[in-house]
């Protein structure tokens, strides 16, 4: 094959093809515009394959050295921007291989021995995704640390805890932040678990059936730092579960971000006024001069839909595919890339934004006082005095009704009035009826008492390093 032919994909296949592709079909079938970002993984995979081919004496050591030299130059060219990506060469794999052959001649043509683009692309995507997962792991840790920091600064700050968005019981703002730390910790666990299945080697499956060359697949896996080898060649080339699992884990992480965003948006609205986020994460309005809009959390909430959409796209991509590789699989890349980009940017920006949250403890406390948040504490107090819980619940309902009628908090009802609902109530009830008393009382593992929150902070700090 001449160099000129190698530059043209339609002619690179074989002599079998009697007519060239139209420009439209070329554009439709090519992936180089987006899969070129796999170039490092592609070179790494090729070098591992070439090293093994030489060790198995399938290619000569001279050819191996030539391939290494050529790849080094290609790496430099791509890094400096000098590399010329050709649409005619369809994808990242053919582009790099053609350039290698241009540089080192026959040695370049021997690289593809015992390999197909089917096992090559599956390997490249896995290598690329593995390094992205490692970056995401670091970003999830930074976000958790930022949240633990705000939790620590606000252990004693009292927030009305809500159920049904109705004031329920007072909670520590720090405790509330740590709820998100739990979510992002689970996301990190899930990513670590997905990584195990990402980090397996398809190479050696060749097109679909394996190859007749005596390849050492375990050696390639070891060179690439992979945990094992895909054990069925048909599955190896066609499996995209790892991409789906990753996107599912990413979707869940985005959903956690989205829930947090929703709270930030509510909290910074005039009706709550609980927090302020730093100006650099907000924007103004072109018509209403008084506005400061929470654009960053709103966009994150919106981008969550986009990532969940990618998950649906990937699931649907796979549902009708017979074994083994089908060109459909080329469509796995854009959703996967966009999922990674969106998640990384979002995690990064939220770690920064968390550090810029200003808390308004007075506003939170005022809101907690408005909602009879210590009613459960009054019921618990009566239970401790011997009343069955259901009766205490009913008695407190009457007390709340009275407080509403007088437009006062439970803690503002005189002892005499309280005793009408249960004669066993004594003066010490006022300790229980305060927000702080309520908070301190929930001193149980996982509860909101400051002592418990501090213990959790210490646990997270030790875990996060
Ligand atoms: N660009 C292709 C993809 O992303 C590479 C594999 C092509 N294999 C094939 N038999 N056409 O899936």
Nearest-atom index, ligand 1, CA of 333: 4
Q: Which of 191, 82, 202, 84 is nearest to 136 (CA)?
A: 191
Stretch among 10-24, 204-218, 361-375 having the lowest mean pLDDT: 10-24
**Cβ of residue 118 lying under 6 Å from some atom of ligand 1:** yes
Choose one of 121, 314, 318 to mutate for the ligand 1 pocket test, by most ligand atoms within 8 angstroms of C-beta.
Answer: 121
Q: How far is the CA of 127 from the centre of ligand 1 (A)?
A: 16
Distance between Cα 111 and ligand 1 center (Å): 17
The confidence score (pLDDT) of residue 444 equals: 98
pLDDT at 22 over 80: yes
pLDDT band with cut points at 50, 70 and 90 for residue 217: very high
Q: Is the CB of 91 under 6 A from ligand 1?
A: yes
Q: How many angstroms is it from 330 CA to the middle of ligand 1?
A: 6
Q: What is the pLDDT of residue 291?
A: 81
pLDDT at 367: 94
pLDDT at 15: 83
Q: Is 199 in the pocket of ligand 1 (CB under 6 A)?
A: no
| Residue located via tokens 């595919």 | 321
Pocket test for ligand 1, best of 115, 330, 335 (most atoms within 8 A of CB): 330
Asked whether 338 lines ligand 1 (CB < 6 A), one says no
Residue whose token pair is 């591992």? 48
115 lines ligand 1 (CB under 6 A): no
Helix, strand, or coil (residue 371): coil
Rounded Cα distance, 244 and 197, in Å:
11
Which residue among 117, 329, 335 is best mutated to probe the pocket of ligand 1, counting the most ligand atoms within 8 A of its Cβ?
117
Query: What is the model's pLDDT at position 3?
Result: 53
Q: Distance from the CA of 323 to the center of ligand 1, in angstroms? A: 14
Residue 64 pLDDT class (50, 70, 90 cuts) = very high
Q: Return the best residue to mutate from 27, 42, 115, 118 for the ligand 1 pocket (most ligand atoms within 8 A of CB).
A: 118
Residue 206 CA to ligand 1 center (angstroms) comes to 12
- Judged against a pLDDT cut of 60, whether residue 167 lies above it is answered with yes
> Is residue 198 within 8 Å of 230, Cβ to Cβ?
no
> Does the C-beta of 327 come closer than 6 Å to ligand 1?
yes
**What pLDDT, on the 0 to 100 scale, is given for residue 287?**
80
| pLDDT in the model for residue 371 | 86
Q: How far apart are CA 103 and CA 261, in angstroms?
A: 52
Nearest CA to ligand 1 atom 10: 118
| Residue 39 half-sphere exposure toward CB, CA atoms < 13 A | 21
pTM for this prediction? 0.94
Counting residues of the chain whose pLDDT is more than 90, the rounded percentage is 92
Quick one: average pLDDT of 207-221? Answer: 98
Strands 166-172 and 158-163 come out as antiparallel
Q: Which atom of ligand 1 sits closest to the CA of residue 91?
A: 1
| CA-proximal residue: ligand 1, atom 3 (nearest) | 330
Q: Is 121 in the pocket of ligand 1 (CB under 6 A)?
A: yes
Give the span between the Cα atoms of 213 and 141, in whole angstroms. 44
**Average pLDDT, stretch 115-136?**
98
Cis peptide bond upstream of 122, omega within 30: no
Q: Residue 285: its pLDDT value, please?
A: 81
User: Mean pLDDT score of the chain, rounded to an integer?
Assistant: 95
Q: What does the alpha-carbon distance between residue 349 and residue 114 come to, in Å, rounded to a whole number?
A: 45
The CA 375 to ligand 1 mean position distance, Å, reads 64
Checking if the pLDDT of 141 tops 80, the result is yes
Q: Which residues are catalytic?
A: 164, 285
Write b or e for each residue in 103-130: b if 16 or more Cβ atoms lie within 10 A of its Cβ, otherwise e. Answer: bbeebbebbbbbbbbbbbbbbbbbbbbb
Residue 390: count of CB within 10 angstroms of its CB: 10
The verdict on the CB of residue 329 being under 6 Å from ligand 1 is yes
Per-residue pLDDT of 400-458, as tens digits, reads 999 999 999 999 999 999 999 999 999 999 999 999 999 999 999 999 999 999 999 99
3-state secondary structure of 166: strand
Q: What is the mean pLDDT of residues 303-317?
A: 98
Cα of 308 to ligand 1 centre, how many Å?
A: 25
List the domains of the chain with CATH numbers. Answer: 22-113 (1.10.275.10), 118-151+164-365 (1.20.200.10), 369-464 (1.10.40.30)
Residue 164 beta carbon below 6 angstroms from any ligand 1 atom: no
Q: Give the distance (Å) from ligand 1 centre to CA of residue 236.
A: 14
> How many whole angstroms separate alpha carbon 204 and alpha carbon 215?
7
Kindly report, residue by residue over 330-368, the tens digit of the pLDDT.
999 999 999 999 999 999 999 999 999 999 999 999 999
- Cβ of 243 less than 6 Å from ligand 1: no
pLDDT value at residue 1: 47
């Amino acid at each position: 094959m001449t160099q000129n032919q190698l530059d043209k994909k339609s002619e690179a296949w074989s002599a079998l093809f009697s007519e060239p592709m139209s420009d439209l079909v070329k554009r439709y079938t090519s992936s180089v515009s987006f899969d070129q970002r796999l170039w490092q993984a592609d070179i790494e995979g090729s070098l591992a394959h070439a090293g093994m081919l030489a060790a198995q004496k399938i290619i000569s050591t001279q050819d191996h050295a030539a391939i290494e030299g050529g790849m080094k130059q290609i790496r430099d060219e791509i890094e400096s921007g000098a590399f010329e990506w050709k649409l005619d060469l369809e994808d990242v794999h053919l582009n790099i291989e053609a350039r290698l052959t241009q540089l080192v001649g026959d040695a370049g043509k021997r690289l593809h021995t015992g390999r197909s683009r089917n096992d090559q692309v599956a390997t490249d995507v896995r290598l690329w995704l593995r390094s992205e997962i490692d970056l995401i792991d670091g970003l999830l840790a930074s976000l958790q640390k930022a949240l633990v920091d705000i939790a620590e600064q606000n252990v004693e700050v009292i927030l009305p805890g809500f159920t049904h968005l109705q004031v329920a019981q007072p909670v520590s703002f720090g405790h509330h932040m740590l709820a998100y730390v739990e979510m992002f910790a689970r996301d990190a666990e899930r990513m670590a678990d997905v990584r195990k299945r990402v980090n397996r080697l398809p190479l050696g499956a060749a097109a679909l059936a394996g190859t007749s060359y005596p390849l050492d697949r375990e050696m390639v896996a070891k060179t690439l730092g992979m945990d094992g080898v895909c054990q069925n060649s048909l599955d190896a080339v066609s499996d995209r579960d790892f991409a789906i699992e990753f996107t599912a884990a990413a979707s869940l992480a985005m959903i956690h971000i989205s829930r947090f965003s929703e709270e930030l948006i509510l909290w910074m609205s005039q009706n709550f006024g609980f927090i302020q986020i730093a100006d650099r994460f907000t924007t103004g309005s072109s018509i209403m001069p008084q506005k400061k809009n929470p654009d960053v959390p709103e966009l994150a909430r919106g981008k969550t839909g986009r990532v969940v959409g990618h998950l649906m796209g990937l699931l649907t991509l796979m549902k009708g595919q017979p074994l083994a590789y089908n060109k459909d699989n080329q469509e796995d890349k854009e959703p996967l890339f966009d999922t990674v980009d969106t998640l990384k940017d979002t995690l990064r920006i939220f770690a920064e934004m968390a550090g810029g949250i200003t808390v308004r403890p007075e506003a939170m406390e005022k809101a907690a006082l408005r909602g009879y948040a210590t009613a459960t504490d009054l019921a618990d107090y009566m239970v401790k005095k011997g009343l069955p819980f259901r009766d205490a619940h009913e008695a407190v309902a009457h007390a709340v009704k009275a407080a509403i009628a007088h437009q006062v908090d439970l803690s503002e009802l005189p002892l005499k009035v309280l005793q009408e609902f249960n004669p066993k109530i004594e003066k010490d009830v006022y300790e229980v009826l305060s927000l702080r008393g309520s908070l301190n009382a929930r001193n149980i593992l996982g509860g909101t008492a400051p002592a418990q929150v501090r213990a959790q902070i210490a646990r997270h700090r030790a875990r996060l390093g």
